[in-house]
Amino acid sequence: MIKLVFPFDPVAQARTRATNRKGKIVVYDPENTAIYKRRINMVAMKHMLGKKPLEGPLSVKIRFYRPIQKNLTKKVRNDRLSGKERPIVKPDLSNYVKAIEDGLNKIVWKDDSLIVHEETDKFYSENPRIEIEVEQWEPEL
């Protein structure tokens, strides 16, 4: 099993942009998404240290920990920290996931199409981060 922790705020995958350069359509990520994916790449490369990307069917668990707003009552703050109240605001969980999956391609796994099972969650935390566990998928018997 591979466990990774990214010690920064999660960022959602923004819509890709397109432009016409010298008569050709060029598609690219917005700057904040591109920077985020590079940060994901750097942390993952340090962790993998020359190991080959995983192949075959994979099972992935991802937990996104968002920062808590400052101006909350003590009760609401405690409910968020305990997990009793979870983030139901944008960005969508699926957009967080897409940015991570793309950022780990060719480093942790050969391609994100290898993911056949995935568990994802959004939480609040005073320590914003992303935690990922990746392992080979095994059929349940």
Lowest mean pLDDT among 7-16, 78-87, 105-114: 7-16
Say what the pLDDT of residue 22 is.
86
Number of alpha carbons in the 13 Å side-chain half-sphere of residue 32: 7
Distances, alpha carbon 100 to alpha carbons 22, 107, 117, 125, in Å: 32, 12, 15, 19
**Has residue 141 been placed in a domain?**
no
**Has residue 11 been placed in a domain?**
yes
Domain that holds residue 29: 2-136
Q: Which two tokens stand for residue 62?
A: 């991802």
Instruction: For residue 48, give the amino acid letter.
Output: M
**Has residue 22 been placed in a domain?**
yes
Helix 31-48 vs helix 93-104: angle between axes, to the nearest 10 degrees? 50
Task: Specify the number of domains making up the chain.
Answer: 1
**Has residue 54 been placed in a domain?**
yes
**Has residue 125 been placed in a domain?**
yes
Q: What is the CATH number of the domain that holds 37?
A: 3.30.1330.70
Percentage of residues in the chain with pLDDT exceeding 90? 77
Lowest mean pLDDT among 18-22, 73-77, 92-96, 129-133: 18-22
Q: Are strands 17-21 and 24-28 parallel, antiparallel or unpaired?
A: antiparallel
Say what the pLDDT of residue 118 is.
97
pLDDT at position 141 over 80? no
The model carries a pTM of 0.88
**Has residue 58 been placed in a domain?**
yes
Rg of the chain, C-alpha, whole Å: 17
Say what the pLDDT of residue 50 is.
83
CA gap 108, 59 in Å, rounded: 12
Give the tens place of pLDDT for each residue, 6-63. Answer: 999 999 888 878 888 888 888 877 888 889 999 999 999 999 998 999 999 999 999 9
